């Protein structure tokens, strides 16, 4: 069942790459396993996927400790400064850095554990009130400040586009973020490597790939719909 889902996602990624004249290897698939049980992660792991995304610190740490294989964990959700210490030495990449305060905290904890942490700066490209992330204008100034932190390594940008019925409506935002990515990359800032553009989810990953995404974060299309507990229910 998960194999079929994964095969179908793979097929769609390949098709989108082909349409865009890009190589399949240019796009990394992150399987977003949030709310899903360990068995589902292990099933997908056995199908050859190594990159997994979680959006909550507690759940990430829990899965990290219980899965013995060397999984690459991606923190894709909003990260509170007081929780940085639990994950700095456990994650492959933090996608959601959206303030200097958070970057400073990552620096502090990374220095303690003597690691360098790869991060992306999260951009709220459509300026949605409900979303985390910096504005387009704030992105470069923030990156210039993070560049001074020796244990924090900016590898690119991340966004979550608005939820829309027709993913074509988000093409403009993916295009804008890609342009920002290219503009910042051309500044050749020390300690900044603009090589990862994390955009595209179940609903819109094909358009994101066509617009230059190098990392797609896909949950529902691989694991099926998520069930969230309703407050008050057992
Ligand atoms: C949940 C989540 C995803 C995956 O969403 P799907 O629509 O299930 O593919 C991707 N990115 C972030 C930041 C998420 O929180």
> Counting atoms of ligand 1 from 1, which one is nearest the CA of 96?
13
Tokens 């959601």 sit on residue: 96
Nearest CA to ligand 1 atom 6: 219
Rounded to two decimals, what is the model's pTM? 0.96
What's the pLDDT tens digit per position in 83-135? 999 999 999 999 999 999 999 999 999 999 999 999 999 999 999 999 999 99
Distance CA 162, CA 164 (A): 6
Ligand 1 probe mutation, 55, 93, 124, 228, most atoms within 8 A of CB? 55
Predicted confidence (pLDDT) at residue 151 exceeds the cutoff of 70: yes
Distance CA 42, CA 28 (A): 19
Output the CA–CA distances (angstroms, integers) from residue 195 to 182, 204, 209, 212, in the order listed. Answer: 10, 21, 14, 11
- 82 torsion bin: left (phi>0), alpha (psi -120 to 50), beta (else): alpha
CA dihedral 86, 41, 161, 174 (to 10 degrees): 100
Q: How far is the CA of 199 from the centre of ligand 1 (A)?
A: 10
Q: How far is the CA of 30 from the centre of ligand 1 (A)?
A: 10
Cβ atoms of 192 and 140 closer than 8 Å: no
3-state secondary structure 177-233: HHHHHHHHHCCCCCCEEEEEEECCCCCCHHHHHHCCCCEEEECHHHHCCCCCCCCCC
Q: How far is the CA of 148 from the centre of ligand 1 (A)?
A: 30
Distance CA 46, CA 49 (A): 7
pLDDT of residue 56: 98
């Amino acid at each position: 069942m998960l194999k079929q889902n994964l095969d179908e996602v793979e097929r769609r990624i390949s098709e989108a790459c082909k349409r865009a004249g890009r190589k399949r290897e240019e796009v990394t698939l992150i399987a977003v396993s949030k709310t899903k049980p360990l068995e589902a992660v292990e099933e997908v792991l056995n199908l050859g996927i190594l990159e997994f995304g979680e959006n909550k610190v507690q759940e990430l740490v829990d899965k990290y400790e219980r899965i013995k294989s060397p999984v690459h964990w991606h923190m894709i959700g909003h990260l509170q400064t007081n929780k940085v210490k639990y994950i700095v030495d456990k994650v492959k990449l933090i996608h959601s850095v959206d303030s200097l305060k958070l970057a400073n905290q990552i620096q502090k904890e990374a220095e303690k554990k003597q690691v360098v942490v790869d991060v992306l700066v999260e951009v709220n490209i459509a300026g949605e009130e409900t979303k985390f992330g910096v504005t387009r204008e704030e992105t470069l100034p923030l990156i210039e400040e993070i560049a001074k932190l020796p244990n924090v390594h900016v590898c690119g940008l991340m966004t979550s586009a608005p939820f829309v019925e027709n993913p074509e409506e988000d093409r403009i935002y993916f295009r804008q973020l890609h342009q920002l990515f290219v503009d910042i990359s051309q500044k050749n800032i020390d300690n900044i490597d603009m090589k990862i553009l994390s955009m595209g989810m179940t609903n819109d990953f094909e358009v994101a790939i066509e617009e230059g995404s190098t990392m797609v974060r896909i949950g529902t299309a691989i694991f099926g719909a998520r069930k969230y507990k309703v407050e008050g229910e057992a």
